[in-house]
């Protein structure tokens, strides 16, 4: 049985061959895939070459979006970037930093602090950072207008030693020491003088403030350092406790006034140095104390044959009962020549009656102030 034909109606093989014969002759031996691939490869090579040439032409241009210390230098050449950084970063640093303490102003200049920024190195680093990666990606980003997001810190250099010296100088010149309360003695008595607080600059805080101003000019070039309040150790409230005893010698009135905790406790009649051998005026203190002391005669002309000798306690010893040394050879002592009291009769010492000197001796510790008016 003859197989059923699958050819479409009107199919004529002879006519088809005759019609397509010229086309078949022209395309004999054609291989379409290698030709297409070769063409595409050539296009790729050309595109890559063009991208490389484009990227190479921008080898000295910093990519858009690159900043140094917040200053935009994207799209600039290295030289132009250096100029912009010099204007916007370095120029503000040349103005001095001023420290204000009360009504006083102190300045440290950029030169004195040795301030600087390596703008050349920063521009080179910006170029290097903007050219990371494959050149083809950089070319495509540039052609597409895409920008990077790089902000390189601008490290400000300065001399830490210079800043510290400056801060210590400011602290020294503005230091106000606390003043303790004290007494101002006169022949008539004691006047209390009040205390006052001191002030000092916190040096470590000032150094930090100056360094901050040197590195970040946008934050201001004037700083006000914190001040530390220094309180006195002695105030009017506790002044009396620091003076358990005080002696005033009033030569003109021939009086010795003894103060206990700055209150007058006793007034004694005394004798003082005669003319030419006056009791020396000034502020002294009790330097030594002795009971029934010997008399060490000074090498003075008035001592005559006794000069330089030591007279033991007894009738020939004019120093009776007690001795309180005040200034060199001068002191307070007892006497049995009561008629001399109330006069200028001694050789420089202060004479008291024996009962009075014993009473005073028992109340006066060493280092008690003695003011001779």
* C-alpha separations of 282 from 8, 190, 272 in Å: 148, 14, 14
Calpha distance 259→239 (Å, rounded):
13
Calpha distance 337→247 (Å, rounded):
23
Task: List the helix and strand counts (H, then E) for the chain.
Answer: 10, 23
Strand, helix or coil at 239?
A: coil
Tell which residue, 209, 249, 245, has the closest CA to residue 108. Answer: 209
**Residue the block writes with tokens 């690159």:** 66
Element (H, E) at 81: helix 78-85
Per CATH, is 243-372 categorized as 2.40.440.10?
A: yes
Q: What does residue 253 show for φ and ψ, rounded to 5 degrees? A: -95, -5
Q: Do residues 133 and 55 make contact, with C-beta atoms less than 8 angstroms apart?
A: no
Pairing status of strand 246-250 against strand 255-260: antiparallel
Q: For residues 33 and 293, which has the higher predicted lDDT (pLDDT)?
A: 293
For residue 215, what pLDDT is reported?
85
Tell which residue, 216, 118, 205, 222, has the closest CA to residue 164. Answer: 205
Sheet holding 97-101, edge to edge: 104-108, 97-101, 222-223
Q: Do residues 73 and 84 make contact, with C-beta atoms less than 8 angstroms apart?
A: yes
Which of 56, 175, 266, 349 does the annotation list as catalytic? 349
Check if 333 is active-site.
yes
Element (H, E) at 58: none
Give per-residue pLDDT as tens, 53-96. Answer: 655 555 678 888 889 988 998 889 999 999 998 888 888 888 89
- Mean pLDDT (the chain, rounded): 85
With 0-12 CB in 10 A as exposed, 13-18 as middle and 19+ as buried, what is 178?
A: middle
Calpha distance 344→342 (Å, rounded):
7
Give per-residue pLDDT as tens, 118-145. Answer: 888 888 888 877 766 555 555 555 556 5
Tell me the sheet residues that pair with 163: none
Q: What does residue 238 show for φ and ψ, rounded to 5 degrees? A: -115, 15
Give per-residue pLDDT as tens, 196-243. Answer: 999 999 999 999 999 999 988 666 789 999 999 999 999 999 999 999
Check if 228 is active-site.
no
For residue 334, what pLDDT is reported?
96
Q: Where are the domains of the chain?
A: 58-239, 243-372
* Token code pair at residue 287: 């330097």
Calpha distance 359→324 (Å, rounded):
12
Q: Is the pLDDT of residue 162 over 90?
A: yes
* C-alpha separations of 242 from 184, 186, 189, 246 in Å: 14, 19, 17, 10
Q: Report the pLDDT averaged over residues 317-324.
A: 94
Which of 216, 242, 266, 333 does the annotation list as catalytic? 333
Render 122-177 in DSSP notation, one character per residue.
HHHHHHHHHT-S-HHHHHHHHHHT----EEE--PPB--HHHHHHHHHHHHHHH-B-
**Residue the block writes with tokens 């004195």:** 112
Q: In this structure, how many other beta carbons lie within 10 angstroms of the beta carbon of residue 335?
A: 24
Give per-residue pLDDT as tens, 43-54. Answer: 776 666 665 665
Q: Report the pLDDT averaged over residues 31-42.
A: 74
Taking the CA atoms of the chain, what radius of gyration do you get in angstroms? 52
Q: Do residues 318 and 295 make contact, with C-beta atoms less than 8 angstroms apart?
A: yes
For residue 158, what pLDDT is reported?
94
Q: Report the pLDDT averaged over residues 251-271.
A: 97
Contacts for 327 with CB less than 8 Å, ≥ 6 apart: 280, 282, 284, 287
**Residue the block writes with tokens 């790729």:** 44
For residue 69, what pLDDT is reported?
86
């Amino acid at each position: 049985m003859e197989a059923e034909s699958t050819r479409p109606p009107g199919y004529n093989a002879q006519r088809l061959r005759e019609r397509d014969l010229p086309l078949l002759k022209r395309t004999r031996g054609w291989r379409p895939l290698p030709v297409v691939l070769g063409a595409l490869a050539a296009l790729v090579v050309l595109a890559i070459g063009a991208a490389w040439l484009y990227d190479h032409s921008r080898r000295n241009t910093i990519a858009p979006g690159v900043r140094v210390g917040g200053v935009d230098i994207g799209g600039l050449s290295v030289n132009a970037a250096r100029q912009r950084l010099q204007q916007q970063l370095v120029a503000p640093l040349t103005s001095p930093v001023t420290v204000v303490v009360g009504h006083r102003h102190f300045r440290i200049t950029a030169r004195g602090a040795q301030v600087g920024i390596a703008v050349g190195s920063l521009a080179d680093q910006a170029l290097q950072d903007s050219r990371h990666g494959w050149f083809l990606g950089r070319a495509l980003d540039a052609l597409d207008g895409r920008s990077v997001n790089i902000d390189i810190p601008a490290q400000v250099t300065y001399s830490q030693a210079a800043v510290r010296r400056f801060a210590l100088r400011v602290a020294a010149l503005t230091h106000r020491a606390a003043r303790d309360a004290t007494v101002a003695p006169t022949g008539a008595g004691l006047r209390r003088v009040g205390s006052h607080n001191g002030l000092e600059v916190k040096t470590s805080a000032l150094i930090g403030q100056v360094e901050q101003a040197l590195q970040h000019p946008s934050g201001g070039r004037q700083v006000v350092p914190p001040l530390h309040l220094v309180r006195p150790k002695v105030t009017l409230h506790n002044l009396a406790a620091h003076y358990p005893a005080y002696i005033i010698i009033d030569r003109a009135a021939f009086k010795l006034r003894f103060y206990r905790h700055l209150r007058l406790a006793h007034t004694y009649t005394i004798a003082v140095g005669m003319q030419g051998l006056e009791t020396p005026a000034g502020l002294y203190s009790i330097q030594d104390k002795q009971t029934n002391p010997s008399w060490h005669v000074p090498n003075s002309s008035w001592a005559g044959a006794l000069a330089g000798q030591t007279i033991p306690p007894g009738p020939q010893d004019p120093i009776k009962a007690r001795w309180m040394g005040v200034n060199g050879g001068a002191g307070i002592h007892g006497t049995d020549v009561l008629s001399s009291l109330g006069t200028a009769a001694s050789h420089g010492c202060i004479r008291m009656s024996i009962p009075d000197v014993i009473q005073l001796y028992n109340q006066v510790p060493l280092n008690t102030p003695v003011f001779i008016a």
